[in-house]
């Protein structure tokens, strides 16, 4: 690794930068607000092979990567998801599974074996009618509750993600109750629209302030911090010790030299925090900038070539200057 590449990767890791790997484009849901990881061929049955994933993880570990998130589509739709997760067993980095959770019973042995450090599960509704309207007809409240109970029984650290929209705002109390019952952490994401469609703009025009007020009244401790993108995070400690967090995407972002001159910067909800790689070999440093995407034949690349590809895109991402938009320090 060159000195410049080493410096870029070091800064990326010190800022808790992640590699977010879409192991499949397929998903059984059609969430209205989904950013689709920037994948244009979303929902098509395109899967990353276990061997390719293994080499990609090797390459990320070799450059000192901090965290890898397995996502999709929905990763549990992948026909070899058990093998994918077994690749992560024993790896020296943080490992997370990001999923809608409906098929978690496919990977019970891997969860029991500790192949992931955390499951980040989408819980955007509690009522079946609301969930099916917002997330798709395949969504099931009863099925999701069963999978949450499964995670509780196995003892896997779990964070429930609740994205606030105009269509599910009234579901928050029921989702919060699930957090009480299961003892799981809860992350409320106050979204903004992206470039994908106009409908999303209307869905995301919702304030999380009432949710913050409610959590404040129930919490034994609260604080305000910033996540790796610079977004404001209000953190509350629940009566059961669980963490309730509200992420305000509108309030501050980390920008680097990569963002200079970007026409979307003023309304960006992305910031710099994650490099995405998908099953078709797209290396995507920014969700809303397709011009920064580079495609590689990853199924035919060894760990050394994959390492070089990772270093090159991370170098683009971490171009100087690297600063919070208001001149504040995020990482101290």
Asked whether the predicted pLDDT for residue 231 surpasses 90, the reply is no
For tokens 């058990």, what's the residue?
A: 82
Q: Is residue 330 part of a domain?
A: no
Asked whether the predicted pLDDT for residue 205 surpasses 90, the reply is no
Asked whether the predicted pLDDT for residue 195 surpasses 80, the reply is no
* Dist. CA 74–CA 102, nearest whole Å: 9
CB 38 within 8 A of CB 284: yes
Q: Is residue 157 part of a domain?
A: yes
Structural domain span for residue 308: 3-324
* Dist. CA 230–CA 328, nearest whole Å: 9
**pLDDT-above-90 percentage for the chain:** 55
Asked whether the predicted pLDDT for residue 14 surpasses 90, the reply is no
Confidence at 22, pLDDT banded by 50, 70, 90: very high
Q: What is the dihedral of CA 149, 152, 156, 160, to 10 degrees?
A: 60
Which one is predicted more confidently, 170 or 286?
Answer: 170
Give mean pLDDT, residues 190-210. 62
What was the pLDDT predicted at 200? 53
Q: Is residue 332 part of a domain?
A: no
Indicate the range of 86-90, 110-114, 295-299, 325-329 predicted with least confidence. Answer: 325-329
Asked whether the predicted pLDDT for residue 326 surpasses 50, the reply is no
Q: Is 158 helix (H, G, I), strand (E, B) or coil?
A: strand
What was the pLDDT predicted at 331? 32
Give mean pLDDT, residues 148-155. 96
* Dist. CA 115–CA 134, nearest whole Å: 31
Confidence at 263, pLDDT banded by 50, 70, 90: confident
Asked whether the predicted pLDDT for residue 151 surpasses 50, the reply is yes
Indicate the range of 174-178, 197-201, 221-225, 291-295 predicted with least confidence. Answer: 197-201
* Dist. CA 258–CA 261, nearest whole Å: 9
Give mean pLDDT, residues 13-37. 84
pLDDT in tens, 39-57: 665 557 899 999 999 999 9
Q: Is residue 329 part of a domain?
A: no
What was the pLDDT predicted at 84? 98
Q: Which helix (H) or strand (E) holds 119?
A: strand 118-122
Confidence at 219, pLDDT banded by 50, 70, 90: confident
Confidence at 155, pLDDT banded by 50, 70, 90: very high
What was the pLDDT predicted at 35? 73
Which one is predicted more confidently, 30 or 322?
Answer: 30
Domain of 140, CATH number, reads 3.20.20.70
Indicate the range of 167-171, 248-252, 261-265 predicted with least confidence. Answer: 248-252
Indicate the pTM of the whole model: 0.90
| Mean pLDDT, the chain, integer | 85
Confidence at 299, pLDDT banded by 50, 70, 90: very high
Residue 33, Cβ density class (10 Å: 0-12 exposed, 13-18 middle, ≥19 buried):
buried
Q: Is residue 12 part of a domain?
A: yes
Q: Is residue 331 part of a domain?
A: no
What was the pLDDT predicted at 179? 93
What was the pLDDT predicted at 111? 98
What was the pLDDT predicted at 330? 35
What was the pLDDT predicted at 34? 80
Indicate the range of 48-62, 69-83, 287-301 predicted with least confidence. Answer: 287-301
Q: Is residue 248 part of a domain?
A: yes
What was the pLDDT predicted at 201? 57
Question: Exposure string (b/e) for 163-198, b if CB count within 10 Å is 16 or more?
Answer: bbbebbeebbeebbebbeebebbbbbbbbebbebee
Q: Is 22 helix (H, G, I), strand (E, B) or coil?
A: strand
What was the pLDDT predicted at 328? 38
What was the pLDDT predicted at 25? 92
Q: Is residue 272 part of a domain?
A: yes
Report the number of distinct structural domains present in the chain.
1
């Amino acid at each position: 690794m060159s000195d410049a590449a080493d410096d870029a990767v070091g800064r990326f890791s010190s800022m808790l930068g992640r590699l977010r790997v879409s192991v499949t484009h397929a998903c059984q849901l059609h969430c209205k607000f989904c950013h689709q990881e920037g994948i244009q061929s979303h929902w098509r049955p395109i899967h990353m092979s276990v061997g390719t994933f293994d080499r990609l993880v090797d390459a990320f570990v070799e450059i000192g990567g901090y965290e890898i998130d397995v996502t999709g589509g929905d990763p549990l739709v992948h026909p070899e998801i058990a093998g994918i997760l077994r690749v992560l067993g024993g790896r020296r980095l943080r490992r997370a599974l990001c999923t809608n959770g409906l098929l978690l019973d496919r990977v019970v042995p891997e969860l029991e074996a500790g192949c992931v450090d955390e499951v980040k599960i989408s819980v955007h509704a509690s009522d079946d009618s609301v969930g099916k309207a917002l997330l798709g007809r395949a969504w099931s409240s009863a099925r999701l509750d069963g999978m949450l109970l499964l995670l509780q029984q196995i003892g896997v650290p779990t964070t429930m993600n609740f994205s606030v929209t105009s269509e599910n705002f009234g579901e928050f109390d029921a989702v919060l109750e699930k957090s009480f019952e299961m003892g799981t952490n809860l992350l409320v994401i106050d979204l903004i629209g992206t470039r994908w469609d106009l409908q999303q703009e209307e869905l995301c025009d919702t304030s999380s302030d009432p949710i913050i007020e409610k959590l404040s009244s129930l919490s034994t401790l609260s604080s305000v911090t910033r996540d790796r993108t610079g977004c404001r995070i209000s953190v509350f400690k629940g009566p059961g010790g669980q963490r309730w967090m509200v992420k305000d995407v509108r309030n501050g972002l980390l920008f680097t030299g990569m963002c200079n001159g970007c026409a979307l910067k003023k309304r960006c909800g992305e910031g710099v925090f994650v490099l995405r790689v998908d099953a078709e070999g797209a290396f995507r440093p920014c969700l809303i900038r397709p011009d920064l995407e580079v495609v590689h034949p990853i199924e035919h690349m060894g760990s050394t070539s994959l390492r070089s590809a990772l270093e090159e895109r991370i170098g683009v991402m971490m171009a100087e200057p690297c600063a919070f938009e208001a001149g504040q320090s995020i990482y101290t």
